[in-house]
A and B are shown apart, each in its own frame.
Chain A
C-alpha cells in the first residue's frame, strides 16, 4: 500500500523524557511535514522539509527537532517533554503543488 506511516501510534511518557516519532512515506513525494493537533482538534504546521531541506519552521520550541535522513523519512525528536506537548502529531507528505497526504497520527500523552 502506498501511504504515509507513523510509529508509534500511541506514546505515553513522563515529563522530562526524550522521545521520537518516526514517519515514512512510500509515495515518492519530495516534501514532508509535521503537524500538531491539540485537544480542540486545531491543526497547526510545525515543520516542512523539501528534498531533505528544512523550508518551514514555525514557532516551535527548540526542544522539537526534526530530522530527515532521506526524502522518504522525516522523524520528530522531542527533548524534555512537557505536559503541554500532549497532542496528536501528524506526518504528511506532498509532491510539487499537490495537497498534503496525512499519516494516521501519533497520540502523545505526557504524564
Chain B
C-alpha cells in the first residue's frame, strides 16, 4: 500500500539559512504530492504541490523537488525565517484518488534567531 515517510523528525536551522525537508514514498501510484505546514495549535496549511509528471516546482521561497527514480521528494525553504518554524508534512494521493491523502510523519522545523 501507499506509505509516505520522512527521513528526519526534527530539523534545526539558523535564521537566514536554507532548509531542506525530505520525504520518501513507497508506492508509485501517487500522482500528486502536497507539502503542508502546521503551526502549533492550528490546522495544516497548504504550501505547494507537485504532479508526478514534474521534477520541480517553485513557489515563493519554496521549491519542491520530485525524484521518481528513488521515490523521494524534498521541500526547500530559502532564507528560513522564524515564522517558518512549524511541522511540515508531505502527503500523496493514494491509488490515484484525489479524495484520499496519505500523510508522512512530519518534520519539526525550528528556526533559531
B-contacting residues of A (Cβ < 8 Å)? 4, 31, 33, 40-45, 48, 50, 55-56, 90, 92, 94, 96-105
Contacts and interface: CB of A to CB of B under 8 A. Distances in A.
The DSSP consensus for interface residues of chain B is strand
Q: Which 4 pairs, one residue from A and one from B, show the smallest C-beta to C-beta distance?
A: A102-B43, A43-B103, A97-B98, A41-B106
A104 B99 CA distance: 20
Given A92-B43, A99-B34, A101-B46, 10 more contacts: A4-B43, A33-B99, A42-B106, A45-B101, A48-B99, A50-B99, A55-B99, A100-B101, A105-B41, A105-B43
B100 interface: yes
B44 A90 contact: yes
Contacts of B38: 41
Contacts of B61: none
Interface of B: 32, 34, 36, 38, 41-46, 49, 87, 89, 91, 97-103, 105-106
Given A99-B34, A99-B49, A43 B98 contact: no
Nearest to B44: A102
B42 A104 contact: yes
B100 A56 contact: yes
21 contacts: A4-B43, A31-B99, A33-B99, A41-B87, A42-B103, A43-B44, A44-B103, A45-B100, A45-B102, A48-B99, A50-B99, A94-B98, A98-B98, A99-B46, A100-B101, A101-B46, A102-B43, A102-B44, A104-B42, A105-B41, A105-B43
Contacts of B101: 45, 100
A103 B70 CA distance: 33
B43 A103 contact: yes
Contacts of A98: 98
Contacts of B45: 102
Given A55-B99, A97-B98, A40 B43 contact: no
A105 to B, nearest CB: 5
Nearest to A6: B43
Given A48-B99, A55-B99, A94-B98, A42 B105 contact: yes
